[in-house]
Structure 1
Amino acid sequence: LNSIFLTETIYSVGLRPYAVVVADVNSDTKPDIVIANQGSETVSILLNKGNGNFSPQTIYSVGLRPYSVAVADVNSDNQPDIIIANSGSNSSSVLLNAGNGTFSPQVAFAVGSSPDSVAVVDVNNDNKPDIVTVNVKSSTVSILLNIGNGTFSSQITYSVG
């Protein structure tokens, strides 16, 4: 097979990009790129222009050393929100989608020590996605139950390992 590759395009993001998720964050049916940047305590969003190119990054502040990123609608407005595990600040940041691929400033929720991974799933069957983090230094899992409108309960912690 002969393969032809186009010239690479390099996009600027924050310092020490660590985690990435691809999702349509501006409801235009095109996959956008969301990156957690450890070195700058930010998340970068590159919106897909639809022609194989992306817009320059839009930057939002999050907690210290963001290690993991997820995208899910946590406030039932049919728009994907951004959820981050911040290893250095022992928190999970929630950035609610304000429309057109823009986001509100982060709201941080306390979790265990050094959360290195985040997942968003309905753990209690109430049809609202909850936040789950794996906390390396405390050997725990934290669950933040979704209480509506993008707000979450205090963590419920389970020991693991």
Structure 2
Amino acid sequence: SVAVVDVNSDNKPDIIVANTGSNTTGVLLNTGSGTFNAETTYQVGFDPRSVAVVDVNSDNKPDIIVANSGSNTVDILLNTGTGTFNAQASYSVGSLP
């Protein structure tokens, strides 16, 4: 799955993607000229299927939530405010999120 949101507060929409084959979530920062920087990846649980972007810790920075179908987990990546994210926190959930 893909989400599009400004994650580094530069008023340009960035791309967040679930990389199922590599068990990572990728962030591509918008350069503003119709192109994006190379993908930065973050390790997440097994078989990530969907991403959502929302501020989960009330710091006015969009964080990434990843549903991992193969590990029955949800991971949260907290936004540092510069377009990078802290190591994920993982939570067990029901079957095949």
- TM-score calculated relative to the size of structure 2: 0.95
- TM-score calculated relative to the size of structure 1: 0.58
CA deviations over 1:43-64 (Å, ceiling 9, x no partner)? xxxxxxxxxxxxxxxxxxxxxx
Q: Does 1:152 align with 2:80?
A: no
Structure-2 residue corresponding to 1:142: 75
Deviation of the 1:153 alpha carbon? 0.5
Unaligned runs of 5+ in 2: none
Q: Which of 130, 133, 144 does residue 66 from structure 2 map onto?
A: 133
CA deviations over 1:86-111 (Å, ceiling 9, x no partner)? 11111100000001221000000111
**Cα distance in 2 between the residues matched to 1:76 and 1:104:** 15
Structure-2 residue corresponding to 1:110: 43
3-state DSSP class of the match of 1:151? coil
Structure-2 residue corresponding to 1:98: 31
Paired residues, what number? 94
**Cα distance in 2 between the residues matched to 1:89 and 1:121:** 23
**Cα distance in 2 between the residues matched to 1:75 and 1:109:** 16
User: Per residue, is there more strand in 1 or in 2?
Assistant: 1
Unaligned runs of 5+ in 1: 1-67
Larger RCO: 1 or 2 (CA < 8 Å, sep 6+) = 2
Q: Which of 69, 75, 80 does residue 8 from structure 2 map onto?
A: 75
Runs of 4+ in structure 1 over 2 Å off: none
**Cα distance in 2 between the residues matched to 1:132 and 1:101:** 26
**Cα distance in 1 between the residues matched to 2:55 and 2:76:** 10
Matches within 5 A, 1:12-91: 68-91=1-24
Tell me how large the CA RMSD over aligned residues is.
Answer: 0.6
> Given residue 155 of structure 1, which amino acid in structure 2 is its aligned partner?
Q
3-state DSSP class of the match of 1:99? coil
